[in-house]
């Protein structure tokens, strides 16, 4: 009898432990704040249908001058077992113009990005002033001997002006600002060299996600524009976007991502104000584009069928069938909130799935803009990641 009691107690303890782990896992999957246009007491999580609001504490104004209100809402398993108390902010739902059209992005960086080294070989061996000074690939040079460096020419002029004397270089490495003392060497033509190749601009093709007519802003790509050689994010000085006509496509295959090819138009339709990890944002000055759609809140996005709006030929976006396979409302990488799979046979036959240049293609679910495509899985081009459209709208607001 005692043995049976011990087994029962152990089983109960194991169930309690498993239950605690399940509750902890569900709590970790929920963000601290959710936005809704419905009463907070009716808050539900589409991707976690077994969770619902258990109770609502007194609503308080989020801002005495604004109509928004916020409430503490406890989400509970089957409406009974409390999982997590979140802040539910009730606010008006936003509407944007759906795009999915290709655009070209031209960026000029706020400095000169180190993209390669060029060693000189002499009788004494190889030498490289930049390496000797401690510079690395991806460093962004912002001044030389106190003079701002905004272009390749600015850096070259500073090096020649130093006449072989040491010059102080200010540069950014990641989030840090650093100083180096660089002593150029003289080549056989009498010119002074630092032993580096730098880049001050970048360009590429992506997809315009949406336009916010309320603020006259645009959002695109869903990820930052980075240097092709170093992977470093370009620090923005200025930039513009132009329409693109897709003229061809290289099909993607496992291990070999494809790409869209196109022709840039001459006239810009927008000014880039932010090159962010979550996308490219700025002011829009072109014609109205796309149908108006509501933006889905995070908790409304769920696994299941959806539409990917993309342009793989010409200038007009079309809807292609995809399936959302995973939804993550929390996590360290906002570019991977969703995992999607292309199920549309027409798109698979033409492109092999997701190719470079489709980043920024909007994803619509249940008639609302749910997310924006960001990356392809290199080993499976039919799959890709996406970022919540609501997150990009917040970024666009901040850039306005």
The domains of the chain are located at 27-90, 95-106+202-399, 119-194
Instruction: Give the residue, 313 or 59, on which the prediction is more confident.
Output: 313
DSSP state of 335: G
Question: How high is the pLDDT of residue 71?
Answer: 84
Residue 372 pLDDT greater than 90, yes or no? yes
Percent of the chain whose pLDDT exceeds 90: 32
DSSP state of 2: H
- Rounded mean pLDDT of 201-212? 88
**DSSP H or E segment with residue 132:** helix 129-133
State the catalytic residues. Answer: 223, 344, 359
Question: How high is the pLDDT of residue 371?
Answer: 96
- Rounded mean pLDDT of 210-218? 93
Domain spanning 119-194, CATH architecture: Roll (2.30)
Question: How high is the pLDDT of residue 63?
Answer: 47
Question: How high is the pLDDT of residue 102?
Answer: 92
Backbone angles phi, psi at 140, to 5 degrees: -110, 110
> Domain 95-106+202-399 adopts which CATH fold?
Thrombin, subunit H (2.40.10)
Alpha carbon 71 to chain centroid, angstroms: 30
Residue 388 pLDDT greater than 90, yes or no? yes
- Rounded mean pLDDT of 217-227? 85
**DSSP H or E segment with residue 91:** none
Least confident window among 143-157, 191-205, 320-334, 341-355: 191-205
pLDDT-derived band at 250 (thresholds 50, 70, 90) equals confident
- Rounded mean pLDDT of 106-127? 79
Percent of the chain whose pLDDT exceeds 70: 90
The β-bridge relationship of strands 279-284 and 270-276 is antiparallel
d(CA 12, CA 294): 48
Q: What token pair was written down for 338?
A: 């969703």
List CB contacts of 60: < 8 A, sequence separation 6 or more: 69, 70, 71
Question: How high is the pLDDT of residue 4?
Answer: 59
- Rounded mean pLDDT of 103-117? 85
Residue 14 pLDDT greater than 60, yes or no? no
Residue 200 pLDDT greater than 60, yes or no? yes
Chain position carrying tokens 């003392």: 181
d(CA 153, CA 159): 10
d(CA 114, CA 203): 17
CA separation, residue 139 to residues 196, 197, 198, 200, 230 (Å): 11, 11, 10, 12, 9
Residue 9 pLDDT greater than 60, yes or no? no
Give yes or no on whether 95-106+202-399 and 119-194 have one common fold: no
pLDDT tens-place string over residues 305-344: 999 999 999 888 999 999 999 999 987 788 899 999 999 9
Least confident window among 26-30, 122-126, 186-190, 282-286: 122-126
Instruction: Give the residue, 320 or 156, on which the prediction is more confident.
Output: 320
pTM given for the model: 0.81
Would residue 146 be called left, alpha or beta, if left means φ above 0 and alpha means ψ between -120 and 50 degrees? left
The β-bridge relationship of strands 140-144 and 147-148 is antiparallel
Least confident window among 174-188, 216-230, 309-323, 353-367: 216-230
Question: How high is the pLDDT of residue 61?
Answer: 47
Please tell me whether residue 329 adopts helix, strand or coil conformation: coil
d(CA 309, CA 264): 20
- Rounded mean pLDDT of 53-69? 54
């Amino acid at each position: 009898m005692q043995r049976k009691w011990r087994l029962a107690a152990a089983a109960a303890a194991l169930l309690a432990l498993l239950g605690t782990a399940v509750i902890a896992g569900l709590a970790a999957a929920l963000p601290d704040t959710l936005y809704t246009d419905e009463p907070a007491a009716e808050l539900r999580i589409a991707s976690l249908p077994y969770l619902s609001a258990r109770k609502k504490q007194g609503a308080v104004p989020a801002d005495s001058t604004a109509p928004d209100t916020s409430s503490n809402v406890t989400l509970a398993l089957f409406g009974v077992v409390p999982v997590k108390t979140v802040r539910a902010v009730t606010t008006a739902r936003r509407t944007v113009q759906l795009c999915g059209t290709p655009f070209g992005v031209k960026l000029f960086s706020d400095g000169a990005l180190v993209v390669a080294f060029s060693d000189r070989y002499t009788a004494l061996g190889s030498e490289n002033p930049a390496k000797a000074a401690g510079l690395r690939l991806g460093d962004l040079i912002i001044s030389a001997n106190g003079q701002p460096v905004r272009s390749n020419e600015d850096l070259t002029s500073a090096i020649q002006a130093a006449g072989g004397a040491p010059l102080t270089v200010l540069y950014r490495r990641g989030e840090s600002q650093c100083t180096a003392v660089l002593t150029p060497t003289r080549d056989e033509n009498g010119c002074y060299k630092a032993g580096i190749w730098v880049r001050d601009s970048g360009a590429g093709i992506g997809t315009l996600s949406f336009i916010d007519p309320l603020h006259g802003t645009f959002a695109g790509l869903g990820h930052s524009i980075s240097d092709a050689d170093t992977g470093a994010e370009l620090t923005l000085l200025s930039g513009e976007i132009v329409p693109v006509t897709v003229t061809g496509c290289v099909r993607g295959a496992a291990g070999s991502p494809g790409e869209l090819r196109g022709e840039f138009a001459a006239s810009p339709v927008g000014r880039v104000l932010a090159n962010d990890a979550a996308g490219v944002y700025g002011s829009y000055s072109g014609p109205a584009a796309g149908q108006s759609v509501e933006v889905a809140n995070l908790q409304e996005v769920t696994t299941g069928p959806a539409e990917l709006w993309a342009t793989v030929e010409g200038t007009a976006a079309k809807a292609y069938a995809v399936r959302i396979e995973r939804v993550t409302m929390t996590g360290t990488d906002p570019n991977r909130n969703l995992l999607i799979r292309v199920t549309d046979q027409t798109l698979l036959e033409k492109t092999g799935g997701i190719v470079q240049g489709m980043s920024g293609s909007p994803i619509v679910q249940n008639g609302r803009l749910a997310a924006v495509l960001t990356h392809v899985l290199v080993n499976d081009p039919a799959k890709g990641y996406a970022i919540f459209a609501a997150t990009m709208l917040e970024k666009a607001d901040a850039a306005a």
